[in-house]
DNA sequence: CGGAACTATTGATCGAGATCAACGAAAGAC
DNA sequence: GTCTTTCGTTGATCTCGATCAATAGTTCCG
């Protein structure tokens, strides 16, 4: 495969196009070798990455979309333990045997399955690339820890507020645009936050009624009272109290 | 510092003594350099690692004991987001600015603060060492994700069952000994599992009453019915049902 | 050792959110 | 386009675990 072809394959991919991500750190030879031994894959909602596919292709880099790690309990309860997005590199070498969750797409996902051999070679030789994936893995770890902290003791409204900030932090900042993309459905959001879809719905409603945010569509919100949302996310009990306000009684929505 | 002295400093440390851990992968020169630029530290319960100390010493390797990452909410609620033990290497470079939790000892902890410069040099040159810390970080990430899954949707009894298995997996296996060490107090356990100490206590009591385990001391259990505990941990609702048994009513404890 | 401070357990009560049920709105399928 | 299925919302009820309260047991000090 010549370099022009590789460019065709990779130049569309955000992992190469975005200067901060993994493939952008590689020189022409490295990119060539990696590209030649890797396979892209497009998934649609509900598709799952597992078993033998992960045996030969245990390293996955996300180009676009949201991939979830799901745990299924025996009686059917499901939880989403982590969300992976653009730039995340998931290394599942030697852990298929454990009780890990399944990797399931929550919408259209484009990813690249990297050759473990070439990946390891690059890890050993290219310090810039090494730094990028090390920091990505570290982010994944700390993100998962933060998430544990969020769902352990926070109330439903607080979890949702935290999640909205998590979305804001993870998405690329577009100046002059304070609309935050919610890249998952309500039902997935519920599974990620350890609550029921009904509760998620009620919490969104409450935040809208209290004029803390506006949700023009299901997959986007605009925060209108950032300090208040921050207080809720940080677990300030006073901020969580239902519409009591200065009147001391619940103010019903006035159409 | 000569090599004999370094041996004195490091030979007692499990990160060097245990062949699977980081320092055991280093050659004499590397160990010498790392040892020379690192500082050991002993902490006692409640001690916290933070601020300026983490600025100059952002990389910490645990030799002994349990270190927790704690998140504090504005109204005083506290959660333990992760537990770090022997062999774990925590890399906090460039993340002090974010809303990370504090690192707090849950008992006597011995750790070694590694020189970031030497650490990075070794990362770049020693593939064996690189592999070990990469896998350690990956374990931390997956452990945190598993933990998120555990606390998101599981009931109290199920969370405790999962935690007991987590303890079993993480501790060194001693053949002929099925006693599992619970390395944290009830109160920390509650904070880690997102429940109240009262509930933890009640769950232990229930597991003992149902003869699934025996707790000779507060910091140890012996499982007497592993399959049943596994079923509970895996979220089999039938296994969770309170002492209903075949009678369909709750059997009170008969002294 | 003795006393202070913290930790663990047990019981009683309460409330946030799960669950159940029903309907309307999107999103795919063909 | 129409049909089917899944998803999101709202309301009513119930339950698990939080909270409050009291006591017993540990650990840590000087």
- Phi, then psi, of B157 in degrees rounded to 5: -60, -40
CA atoms within 13 A of residue A178's CA, in its CB half-sphere: 7
pLDDT digits (tens, 9 = 90+) for B2-25: 666 666 778 889 999 998 999 999
pLDDT value at position B51?
Answer: 67
- Integer Cα distance of B144 and B81 in angstroms: 8
Cβ neighbors of B106 (< 8 A, separation 6 or more) are B45, B65, B66, B67, B68, B83, B183, B184, B185, B188
**Is this structure's pTM higher than 0.85?**
yes
**Average pLDDT across chain B, whole number:** 87
Q: Is the CB of B214 under 7 A from strand C?
A: no
Element (H, E) at A213: strand A213-217
> Does residue A26 contact residue A111 with C-beta atoms inside 8 Å?
no
> Does residue A68 contact residue A43 with C-beta atoms inside 8 Å?
no
**At CA B17, angle to CA B12 and CA B21, rounded to 5?**
130
- In this prediction, what percent of chain A has a pLDDT beyond 90? 70
Give the C-alpha distances (Å, rounded to integers) separating A169 from A58, A159, A236, B159. 28, 15, 21, 30
Residue A63 Cα, gap to closest chain B Cα (Å): 20
Average pLDDT over residues A156-161: 96
Q: Which residue do the tokens 């990297």 mark? A: A114
pLDDT value at position B75?
Answer: 86
Average pLDDT over residues A54-74: 91
- Number of A/B CB contacts below 8 angstroms equals 137
B154-246 and B3-148 share a CATH fold: no
| Torsion angle of C-alpha atoms B189, B193, B194, B195, degrees rounded to 10 | -60
pLDDT digits (tens, 9 = 90+) for B91-118: 999 775 556 789 999 999 999 999 999 9
> Does residue B74 contact residue A236 with C-beta atoms inside 8 Å?
yes
| Spacing of A77 CA from C30 C1' in Å | 32
Residue A200 Cα, gap to closest chain B Cα (Å): 14
Q: Smallest Cα–Cα separation from A63: which of A96, A28, A30, A105?
A: A105
Nucleotide nearest to B184 (CA to C1'): C7
Residue A4 Cα, gap to closest chain B Cα (Å): 31
Candidates B141, B148, B239, partner chain A, best to mutate (most A CBs within 10 A): B148
- Tell which wins on pLDDT, B50 or A62: A62
| CATH code reported for the domain at B3-148 | 2.60.120.10
Q: Is the CB of B196 under 7 A from strand D?
A: yes
Question: Strand D positions with any atom < 7 Å from protein CB?
Answer: 7-12, 16-21, 27-28
- Integer Cα distance of B132 and B136 in angstroms: 6
- In this prediction, what percent of chain A has a pLDDT beyond 70? 88
CA B207, chain centre distance (Å) = 22
pLDDT digits (tens, 9 = 90+) for B55-85: 889 999 999 999 999 999 988 899 999 999 9
Is the pLDDT at A197 greater than 90, yes or no? yes
Q: For chain A, how far is it from start to end, CA to CA, in angstroms?
A: 64
The chain B residue lying nearest A237, using CA atoms, is B75
Q: Is the CB of A220 under 7 A from strand D?
A: no
| Spacing of A176 CA from C23 C1' in Å | 39
pLDDT digits (tens, 9 = 90+) for A200-234: 999 999 999 999 999 988 999 999 999 999 999 99
- Tell which wins on pLDDT, B120 or A11: B120
Q: Is the CB of B157 under 7 A from strand D?
A: yes
The burial of A13, by beta-carbon neighbours within 10 Å (0-12 exposed, 13-18 middle, 19 or more buried), is given as buried
Nucleotide nearest to A186 (CA to C1'): D8
Nearest Cβ partner of A148 from B127, B148, B154? B148
The chain B residue lying nearest A91, using CA atoms, is B138
pLDDT value at position A76?
Answer: 86
Helix, strand or coil, per DSSP, at residue A180 = strand
Q: Report the CATH architecture of B154-246.
A: Orthogonal Bundle (1.10)
For chain A, domain boundaries? 3-148, 154-246
Residue A5 Cα, gap to closest chain B Cα (Å): 31
> Does residue B140 contact residue B96 with C-beta atoms inside 8 Å?
no
> Does residue B239 contact residue B180 with C-beta atoms inside 8 Å?
no
Contact B71 A236 (CB under 8 A): no
> Does residue A106 contact residue A188 with C-beta atoms inside 8 Å?
yes
**Got the DSSP string for B22-91?**
GGGG--HHHHHHHHHT-EEEEE-TT-EE-HHHHHH--EEEEEES-EEEEEE-TTS-EEEEEEE-TT-EEE
| Spacing of B102 CA from C9 C1' in Å | 29
pLDDT value at position A244?
Answer: 43
């Amino acid at each position: 495969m010549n370099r022009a072809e590789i460019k065709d394959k990779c130049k569309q991919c955000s992992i190469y196009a975005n200067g901060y991500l993994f493939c952008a750190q590689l020189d022409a030879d490295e990119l060539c070798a990696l590209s030649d031994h890797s396979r892209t894959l497009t998934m649609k909602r509900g598709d799952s990455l597992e078993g033998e596919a992960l045996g030969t292709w245990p390293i996955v880099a996300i180009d676009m979309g949201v991939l979830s790690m799901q745990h299924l309990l025996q009686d059917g309860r499901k939880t989403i333990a982590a969300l992976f997005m653009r730039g995340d590199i998931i290394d599942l070498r030697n852990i298929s045997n454990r009780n890990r969750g399944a990797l399931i797409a929550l919408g259209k996902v484009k990813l690249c399955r990297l050759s473990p051999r070439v990946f390891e070679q690059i890890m050993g030789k290219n310090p810039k690339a090494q730094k990028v994936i090390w920091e990505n893995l570290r982010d994944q770890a700390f993100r998962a820890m933060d998430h544990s902290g969020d769902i352990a003791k926070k109330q439903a409204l607080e979890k949702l507020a935290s999640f909205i900030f998590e979305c804001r932090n993870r998405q690329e900042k577009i100046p002059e645009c304070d609309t935050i993309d919610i890249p998952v459905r309500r039902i997935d959001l519920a599974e990620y936050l350890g609550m029921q879809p009904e509760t998620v719905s009620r919490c969104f409603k409450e935040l809208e009624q209290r004029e803390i945010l506006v949700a023009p569509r299901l997959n986007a919100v605009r925060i209108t009272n950032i300090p208040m949302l921050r207080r809720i996310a940080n677990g300030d009990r006073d901020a969580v109290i239902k519409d009591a306000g200065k009147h001391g009684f619940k103010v019903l929505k006035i159409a």
